[in-house]
A and B are shown apart, each in its own frame.
Chain A
Amino acid sequence: AQSVAQPEDQVNVAEGNPLTVKCTYSVSGNPYLFWYVQYPNRGLQFLLKYITGDNLVKGSYGFEAEFNKSQTSFHLKKPSALVSDSALYFCAVRDRASGTYKYIFGTGTRLKVLA
């Protein structure tokens, strides 16, 4: 079965420190990979995506993500965390072969950046 795992329910990091939010997936073939952020009582905002090519993808607000095919991972990273980065982060994959626009979402990771 296809799945996306975000192994950490919550990640705490001090402001100014680098952050990593982990995501691994189990999808047949080569999926499209996405990261979204959700602020309280709001919808999801797109951060970045991986389609093909360079394994390091840069996105909005200074975020980047590294695609690792052998480890089937797509971890979200930021060199220097801000308190305003505190939010809920979702990893999502879309199966290229499915011919649909459906996402498989991870369960989300709450990022808390401490001042």
Chain B
Amino acid sequence: GAVVSQHPSWVICKSGTSVKIECRSLDFQATTMFWYRQFPKQSLMLMATSNEGSKATYEQGVEKDKFLINHASLTLSTLTVTSAHPEDSSFYICSARPPGASYNSPLHFGNGTRLTVT
């Protein structure tokens, strides 16, 4: 149980275009989803927290107009990278929290999306 599916697994897009990444909780309803960006030197950076039906909360330094997050349902959150540039190339990972999960519960992670902007 507690499967998080992320799509696509990898995507290549041209500079200036937008790309959407989907994060779905397949067998549970995710009250909260988190979007991370993983840099080449391995660290994970939390980009934003999205709660179903409300605006995402972005971390300091993350451009909300650049990285649009929508959490329209309890099973789907999307991250849209708008007007992508080569420096946006990265590995993006989502994670989800089931409703009722306590603070000591682990999160469930998707398999990530490798974005390459040419």
Contact = CB atoms under 8 A, between A and B. Distances in A.
A13 B1 CA distance: 33
A36 B108 CA distance: 11
Given A94-B103, A105-B44, A107-B43, A43 B4 contact: yes
Contacts of B114: 41
Chain B binding surface, main DSSP class? strand
A110 B101 CA distance: 30
Contacts of A108: 42-44
* Interface size classification for chain B: 20 to 34
A1 B46 CA distance: 16
Contact of B104 (A32, A88, A90): A32
Contacts of B46: 102-103
B109 A45 contact: yes
A69 interface: no
B78 interface: no
B64 to A, nearest CB: 17
15 contacts: A32-B103, A41-B9, A41-B10, A43-B6, A45-B109, A46-B106, A46-B108, A90-B44, A94-B103, A105-B43, A105-B44, A106-B43, A107-B41, A107-B42, A107-B43
Interface of A: 9, 32, 34, 36, 41-46, 49, 51, 88, 90, 94, 96, 99-103, 105-108, 110
